[in-house]
Amino acid sequence: MRETRDVATPFFLVARRSEPGGLNRRMKLHVLPAGPIQTNAYLLTAPERGEAVLIDAPGDVWAEVEPILSEDKCRLTELWITHGHWDHTQGGADVVRATGAKVLAHPDDRMMIETPEIMERFMGERMNLKPIKVDRWVKQGDTISALGMNVEVRHVPGHCPGNVVFYIAAAKSAFVGDALFAGSVGRTDLPGGSFEMLERSIREQIYSLPDVTVVYPGHGPDTTVGAEKATNPYVSG
């Protein structure tokens, strides 16, 4: 089910700072669960810039993204991959073919993204996964400039070796992939997983963000850093 949220308030502040003319700019966040296990894709559109960024690409997500891009009159410029698991990348090749969007991901998941058929082995199913060509490999501490904002990359291995957080301070938002969920954490029994590592990633890279930061996970509803620090039963704050 598609859901659109207005995240105008923090982005207005960004626009005022970066555009001395004070353009009446709005940014929208579209939450698009898609694919066989309802993986959240997040589409950020900036209608007055005519640009959009997609975070993760579950199977068949393009069918959801395309009408929003035309509605908001935006061109998709980038696809950011939180981690290389198939449920976050299955729709990526279609999105790139249709839009020419530049793809960003962490190098520790290079094999999964470039040779996704290796994942069919532990899924026990042939899914005809298509490789994605990554244009920019990002790592801990990198800054991405997109839609007139600065976005910080934080590396959070433990669920998957190359899981990263895309943190937009100006929007008080962190897109965390499958590291942390509302009231839960990512599974650590898949190849390259480790609970100790995940716990450290969550404490050092997510719980260190301001409590008011909204956490947008790869599955299920959003939450906040403060709420998880106070109540998460797996990793306490």
Residues that bind Zn ion (CB under 5 A): 85, 87, 178, 218
Of 4, 1, 3, 7, nearest to 149 (Cα)?
Answer: 7
For residues 221 and 218, give the distance between their C-alpha atoms in angstroms, rounded to a whole number.
Answer: 9
CB of 61 to Zn ion, least distance (A): 13
CA distance 108 to 117: 17
In order, the DSSP letters of 111-165 are HHHH-THHHHHHHTS---------SEE--TT-EEEETTEEEEEEE-TTSSTT-EE
Structure tokens at 138: 């990002």
Look up tokens 């390259």; give the residue.
192
Q: How far is the CB of 91 from Zn ion (least distance, A)?
A: 13
CA distances from 119 to 89, 166, 190, 237 (A): 11, 24, 10, 33
110 contact partners, CB below 8 Å, separation of at least 6: 84, 134, 137, 162
Looking at the Cβ atoms of 78 and 87, the one nearer to Zn ion is 87
Structure tokens at 194: 């480790």
Which residue type occupies 170? Answer: A
Residue type, 36: P
